[in-house]
Amino acid sequence: MTDLSEHDGVLISQRVGNAAHLTLNRPAALNALNSELLDSLERELESAIDDHAVRVIVIQGAGERAFSAGADLLELKGLDSEAALRLLGRGQELFRRIELAPKPTVAVVDGFAIGGGFELALACHLLIATERSAFGLPEATLGLIPGYGGTQRLADVLGRHLALRVMLTGSRLSAGDLAQAGITACPAVAPDSLAQAVDDLVEQLCRSTPAATRAVLTAISARAPSGLALAHEAALAAIAISSDTGQGGIEAMLAKMAKR
């Protein structure tokens, strides 16, 4: 299939062979997930799902620093609990669509996948990461909690105790840690080998028939977090965002980022 590219600013969509490559394109903001980017990602995700020529959907980040540093804190600043819940629900719906997509979704991480960025990667069916990548859900250190499904999906792949340690301490995980836990599709790769590793995985995934692939994904979707659990997480995260402590943490992080 011909390489077809669309660029709407915050997202780059490319069709290469049987793969749709969706690139988060806010490198100056470490590909932070603002509403515009989430809207574009949803639109291009649905386009890729509807395109019969697309067999695999690849989600990656622009630049060499980050897959995504998470939710855009500027959008969280000043939110009350109702507004925060609407924003979180929007993100959760998109991530659940990625998780339940009828075609394999692959997160390709080179650099940071923190907060909502890590939650996005966890929502994908498969994950490839470079040796310089780092992962974490540090929201608790800001007086917040993960709100895009991270409390559920991280516990599912790491186990309850290790997931709690990561979330409660804000500690980082390396690509090697994820590979050892069986979370990544292959061992951590060198940055200059990433494109080839992605191409190899796409080729392997396309060996199965579309019908069989769809059936496997449908069967395994029974293990996805329940809607009730996700809604509970979103409600708790919304309360944390609107609290004085949460808003203080957001402002402190924004001030720290402004000095860089």
- Residues labelled as active-site residues: 119, 139
Question: Which residues make beta-bridge pairs with 173?
Answer: 135
Tell the residue number behind the tokens 């809604």, with chain if given: 231
Contacts for 138 with CB less than 8 Å, ≥ 6 apart: 114, 115, 170
How far is residue 242's CA from residue 81's CA, in Å, rounded to a whole number? Answer: 5
Q: Answer for the pair 32, 26: CB distance below 8 angstroms, yes or no.
A: yes
Residue 186 CA, chain-centre distance (Å), reads: 18
Residue 129: closest CA among 193, 41, 172: 193
The DSSP bridge pattern shows strands 173-174 and 105-109 to be unpaired
Q: Is 25 exposed, middle or buried (0-12, 13-18, 19+ CB in 10 A)?
A: buried
